[in-house]
Structure 1
Amino acid sequence: MERQASVSYKGWMFRLAHLSDVHLGPLPDVTYRELVSKRMVGYVNWHRNRRRVLTEGVLGAIVADMQASQPDHLAVTGDLVNLALDAEIELARIWLETLGKPGDVSVVPGNHDAYVPGAFDKTCRVWGPWMTGDGASPPTDRKGFPYMRVRGQVALIGVSTARATAPFMASGFFREDQSHRLGRMLDDAAKRGLFRVVMLHHPPVRGAVPQHKRLFGIGTFQATMQKHGAELVLHGHSHLPTLYWIGGRGRPVPVVGAAAAGQSPGDSKPAAQYNLLDISGEVGAWAIRLTRRGLTGAAMPPSDLMSIDLTPEARLVERT
C-alpha cells in the first residue's frame, strides 16, 4: 500500500499509528500456584470468552496492514497480555520487537499488564525500552511515568493508569503526583512549539466504560488538560472505536479510543481495528485527520472504516 498524504500542511506531516488491547494469546502453561490469586478469574474468563474472540491471525493482519501504511511512530495503549504471567510478559517483549525499534514504538501499560501485585514492576523492567523518555532511565515502577519522547514536531507523553485491583475489577488510577509531572511535561512541550499527544490506557471520560472498569482520577486528568492543554489524547480499555472531546487550555482536546487489535469478527464488540492519525500544521493551526482501519468480515483484509478531521472547527458526531 502506498502511503496516503491525507494531511499535508505547512510543509510537514507526521503519521502516528495507534493500537490497543492486544491481549496476546494463547496463554502459556499456568501452574496452580500462579492461579491462587485474581488470575483464577482471568484464566476462566480467557477459556470461556477471550480465547474465542482474540486471535493471533487477526492481530497479524492488523499489524501487517498498519506497517504497510508506513507510520512515523506507533503508540500502543496497553493490555498487551492477559494475566501478566512471566511468560506472557516475555512473549510481549518479543512481539514488541517485531513492531519496531524501541525508539519508534511507545507503550503505556494497561490493567491486564498489572494484573496482580508485582506484575507492574516486572512489566516495566522487561518493556522498559519502549516506555523510556528521551534522556531518561528506563522505568522500574510507576514513578517512572509519565515519560516524554519528541519525534520531529510531536511530543509523545506516556501516562500510566495501570494498577493491580481486586477480582472482577479493572479500574485505573490517575493521581496528583502524576498530574504534576504531566503538567510540567505539557508546559515544556508547549514552550517548544510541539504537538502534544498524551497516551494512557483507561478513557479519561465519565461514562465511557462500566463502573467497575472506570478511571479514578478523571476529574484530575481533565483539570490537567484544562490548565496545561494538549492536542490529542489516545486510550484503549473499552475495546471501542470512540471519539470524545474534553476541555483544554483554550481549545477542546480530542480523546480517541480504539477497538481491540486482536478481536475476531462476529462478537458483540467491533472487530479488530487500528487508528492512523496524520498530524501537520503549527501552533494555533494544527491539522489532524483520524482514519480508522480494520476488519469488516472474517475473510476480508483491513480497509478504511471512516475518516474525520479532528479540529474543533470540524467537530462531528462519530457513529460507530
Structure 2
Amino acid sequence: MFRLAHISDPHLGPLPEATAWQLANKRIFGYVNWRRNRKGVLTTDILDNLITDMQEHAPDHLAVTGDLVNLALPAEIANARRWLTSLGAPEDVSVIPGNHDAYVPNARMKAEEAWRPFMSGDIVHSGSLNFPYLRVRGKIAIIGVNSARATLPLMATGYFRKAQARALSKLLDDCKEEGLFRVVLIHHPPLKHSTHWHKRLIGASRFRKTLRKHGAELVLHGHTHLLTKAATEGPHGPIPVICVPSASQGLGSRSKPPARYNLFEIGGKDGNWQCRLIERGYSTEDKVISELGNQMLSVPNA
C-alpha cells in the first residue's frame, strides 16, 4: 500500500514588507486583499498543526498543488523554499505552481528556480523546468501539470495549452503501459462551473479531452479552497477529481471550510486498483484535528 498525502494553497505567511516599487503592479490589489480579507484567516498556527498531524501519519509521498505564496515577493519565494525543505526530502515532495506563485511576470520562473528540486521529474533537464513532469514511486506515477501564469489584475485564470496536452498524453500512455497508478496534479479545477469565470482554467475542455482519451486513475487540484469530490470521463470509467481546502484556512469562514489534508491509500495492480480516501483536518467547531471522512474511491480499472 502506498500512502499519498495531498495539501494545497497554504499561502504562507506572514506577508513580508514590500517596497513601493514591488507593489507598483498587480501586487497592490493582492496586498489590499490580503490585508482586508486574508490576514488572520489564513494562519501559520493552523498550517503548522496540520503538517504535524500529517507527518505523524507518515505518508510515503506528499503532493502540494500550488499557491505556496501570496504575492510572489522574493522574500516569500525564499521562505517557501525553506518551508518545503521542512516537509521532507525533494524526492518525497512533489510541487506544482499555482496562480499566486506566478502572480506577476517572471515571478513563476523565480519560484521554479528556487523550488526546482521539488518540481523536477525523475529525468532532470537543464534550463527551464519542463511540464508536465513525471515521478514514479513504486507503482505510482505522479504527473505534475502547470496551469499557472501571470494574469491581468483581478484575474486568476489558469492555462492548459496544446503543447502540455501532447506531452501529458504521452506520459499517460507510457505509464499505462507500465501498469502504473496515474495521479495527475494541477492547480486549477479542470471541470465545468467549478469556479468563477475570472478564476477558471482556460483549456479545461482540452484537459478533459486528454483524460477522456488517455485515462488516469486520480486527479488532484486546489485553487478554490473548497472540499469537492467530482469526476471526469475516462476511457474505462469516471476518474475521481478531488480538491482539498486551503492548508492554512482558519475556523469561522462562512464560505471556506477549515484546513485539512487528504491521505490516499493506494493498493492493488493495474486492472484491480483500490484507493481509499482519508480526510483529516479541523471541524467547524474547534481546533482539534481529527478524521473527517473515510471512503473507498471508485477508480477506473481495465
TM-score by length of 1: 0.91
Match of 1:115 among 103, 117, 131: 103
| CA-CA distance at 1:289 after TM superposition | 0.8
Which residue of the partner structure matches residue 105 of structure 1?
93
Which residue of the partner structure matches residue 150 of structure 1?
136
| CA-CA distance at 1:291 after TM superposition | 1.1
Is this contact kept in 2: 1:235–1:256, CA < 8 A?
Answer: yes
Is this contact kept in 2: 1:139–1:145, CA < 8 A?
Answer: no
Q: Deviation above 6 Å: which 4+ runs of structure 1?
A: none
Structure 2 Cα separation of the partners of residues 135 and 162 of structure 1: 22
Is this contact kept in 1: 2:275–2:299, CA < 8 A?
Answer: no
Structure 1 Cα separation of the partners of residues 203 and 116 of structure 2: 25
| CA-CA distance at 1:108 after TM superposition | 0.4
Alignment partner of 1:279: what SS? strand
The answer on 1:267 being equivalent to 2:253 is yes
Which residue of the partner structure matches residue 86 of structure 1?
74
Deviation track 1:35-79 (CA, whole Å, cap 9, x = no partner) reads 000000000001001112000000001100000111000000000
| CA RMSD of superposed structures (Å) | 1.2
Gaps in structure 2 of 5+ consecutive residues: none
| CA-CA distance at 1:241 after TM superposition | 1.1
| CA-CA distance at 1:139 after TM superposition | 6.4
| CA-CA distance at 1:29 after TM superposition | 0.9
Structure 2 Cα separation of the partners of residues 246 and 139 of structure 1: 34
Aligned length: 299
Structure 2 Cα separation of the partners of residues 241 and 267 of structure 1: 14
Is this contact kept in 1: 2:217–2:299, CA < 8 A?
Answer: no
Which residue of the partner structure matches residue 7 of structure 1?
none
Is this contact kept in 2: 1:79–1:113, CA < 8 A?
Answer: yes
Match of 2:39 among 42, 51, 57: 51
Is this contact kept in 1: 2:179–2:270, CA < 8 A?
Answer: yes
Which residue of the partner structure matches residue 288 of structure 1?
275
Alignment partner of 2:210: what SS? helix
Gaps in structure 1 of 5+ consecutive residues: 1-12, 314-320
Residue identity in the other structure for 1:21:
D
The answer on 1:129 being equivalent to 2:117 is yes
Which residue of the partner structure matches residue 192 of structure 1?
178
Which residue of the partner structure matches residue 307 of structure 1?
294
Alignment partner of 2:50: what SS? helix
TM-score by length of 2: 0.97
Which residue of the partner structure matches residue 5 of structure 2?
17
Structure 1 Cα separation of the partners of residues 229 and 246 of structure 2: 15
Is this contact kept in 2: 1:131–1:138, CA < 8 A?
Answer: no
| CA-CA distance at 1:82 after TM superposition | 0.1
| CA-CA distance at 1:167 after TM superposition | 0.8
Match of 1:70 among 58, 67, 89: 58
Structure 2 Cα separation of the partners of residues 137 and 272 of structure 1: 35
Structure 2 Cα separation of the partners of residues 250 and 177 of structure 1: 25
